[in-house]
């Protein structure tokens, strides 16, 4: 097994997660729109690329080249060469692209893939959400497939998730229900207030839940305050 945990590009988030992104598991970041989920995904990707590795990046929400360039800085063009971007347009394609990405994970590359990002896991699912059980089943299947890749290739998986209002319990929940929560071994919730945002550890295998830090969004990513 590879020893070190890949960093997220944010020292605060690394500390919250106990040293970075754990290999062989799914780490989930969820929160409302504009809370900083995609920024964190790009930061983690850039960190991995800067370490001389490749990244599989599955984007269901519209990848922003401009935001990538801001976060990657001067080396953006060079780093982008090893960013393998998948942009599924529907929920079906999302599953196909997860499967397809395995070709890139296989050994023998000069710049081995050391991170899989899926931002977000549930944007396309959302359109089928109303369809009910079948969509839930499919989403679970995708997650199991991703987890399988994480284990087989000893890499971390970072996914983001959107929220919805659970009317019955009158509170905000992550999409994908308990299945998505269960399969994610680390979960970070992003909260957005007027000026600062807060990242809260909601689930972790060996760190207490409730740990948190405050941050602001800047040109080159998130910054702890
Ligand atoms: N260069 C920047 N400087 C400061 N804030 C920025 C910059 N670029 C984007 N943002 C802020 O980041 C937020 C969007 O963050 P993002 O990571 O895309 O959120 P999410 O993926 O959770 O929807 C917006 O509030 C936007 O104003
Ligand atoms: Mg986003």
For every residue of 127-188, DSSP letters joined together read HHHTT-HHHHHHHHHHHHHHHHHHHHHT--EEEEE-EEEETTTTEEEETTHHHHHHHEEEEE
- Give the three-state DSSP class for 204: coil
- 90 neighbors 131 (Cβ within 8 angstroms): no
- 104 neighbors 96 (Cβ within 8 angstroms): no
Ranges of each domain in the chain:
11-224
Residue bearing the CA closest to ligand 1, atom 17: 36
Distances (CA, A) of 209 to 39, 72, 107, 172, 201: 23, 31, 36, 17, 5
| Rounded Cα–Cα distance for residues 191 and 64 (Å) | 22
- The response to whether residue 184 sits with its C-beta less than 6 Å from ligand 1 reads no
Closest CA to 135 of 89, 177, 100: 177
Long-range contacts of 192-199 (CB under 8 A, 24+ apart): 192/31, 192/32, 192/34, 192/35, 192/36, 196/225, 197/35, 197/36, 197/222, 199/12, 199/13, 199/16, 199/36
Mean pLDDT throughout 30-39?
96
Which ligand 1 atom is nearest residue 70's CA? Answer: 1
Strands 197-203 and 184-192, bridge-based pairing: antiparallel
- What is the radius of gyration, based on Cα positions, of the chain? 16
- The response to whether residue 74 sits with its C-beta less than 6 Å from ligand 1 reads no
Q: Is the pLDDT of residue 130 over 80?
A: no
CATH fold label, 11-224: Rossmann fold (3.40.50)
CA of 198 to the centre of ligand 1 (A): 14
Ligand closest to Cα of 195 equals 1
CA of 130 to the centre of ligand 1 (A): 29
CA of 67 to the centre of ligand 1 (A): 9
CA of 87 to the centre of ligand 1 (A): 20
Which ligand 1 atom is nearest residue 219's CA? Answer: 1
Ligand closest to Cα of 62 equals 2
Supply the pLDDT for residue 1.
63
Ligand closest to Cα of 35 equals 1
- pLDDT per position as a tens digit, 37-47: 999 999 999 99
Strands 163-166 and 171-174, bridge-based pairing: antiparallel
- pLDDT per position as a tens digit, 99-113: 999 999 997 889 999
Q: Is the pLDDT of residue 3 over 80?
A: no
Mean pLDDT throughout 51-74?
98
Edge-first strand order for the sheet with 113-119 is 83-86, 54-59, 113-119, 157-161, 26-31, 184-192, 197-203, 212-218, 221-224
CA of 175 to the centre of ligand 2 (A): 14
Q: Which helix (H) or strand (E) holds 88?
A: none
Calculate what percentage of the chain has a pLDDT beyond 90.
Answer: 83
- The response to whether residue 202 sits with its C-beta less than 6 Å from ligand 1 reads no
Q: How confident is the model at residue 116 (pLDDT cuts 50, 70, 90)?
A: very high
CA of 119 to the centre of ligand 2 (A): 7
Q: Is the pLDDT of residue 209 over 70?
A: yes
Calculate what percentage of the chain has a pLDDT beyond 70.
Answer: 98
Take residue 104 and report the two structure tokens written for it: 């890139």
């Amino acid at each position: 097994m590879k020893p070190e945990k890949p960093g997220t590009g944010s020292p605060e988030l690394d500390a919250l997660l106990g040293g970075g992104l754990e290999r062989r598991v799914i780490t989930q970041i969820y929160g409302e729109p504009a809370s900083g989920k995609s920024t964190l995904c790009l930061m983690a990707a850039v960190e991995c690329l800067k370490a001389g590795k490749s990244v599989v990046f599955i984007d269901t929400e519209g990848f922003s080249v401009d935001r990538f360039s801001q976060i990657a800085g001067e080396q953006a063009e060079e780093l982008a060469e090893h960013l393998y971007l998948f942009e599924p347009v529907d929920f079906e394609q999302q599953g196909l692209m997860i499967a397809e990405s395995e070709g890139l994970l296989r050994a023998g590359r000069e710049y081995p893939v050391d991170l899989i990002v899926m931002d977000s896991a549930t944007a396309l699912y959302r359109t089928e959400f109303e369809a009910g059980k079948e969509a839930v089943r499919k989403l679970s299947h995708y997650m199991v497939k991703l987890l399988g890749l994480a284990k087989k290739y000893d890499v971390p998986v970072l996914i983001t998730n959107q929220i919805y209002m659970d009317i019955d319990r009158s509170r905000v929940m992550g999409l994908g229900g308990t299945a998505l929560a269960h399969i994610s071994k680390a979960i970070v919730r992003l909260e957005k207030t007027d000026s600062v945002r807060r990242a809260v550890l909601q689930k972790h295998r060996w760190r207490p839940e409730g740990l948190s830090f405050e941050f602001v969004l800047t040109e080159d990513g998130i910054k702890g305050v």
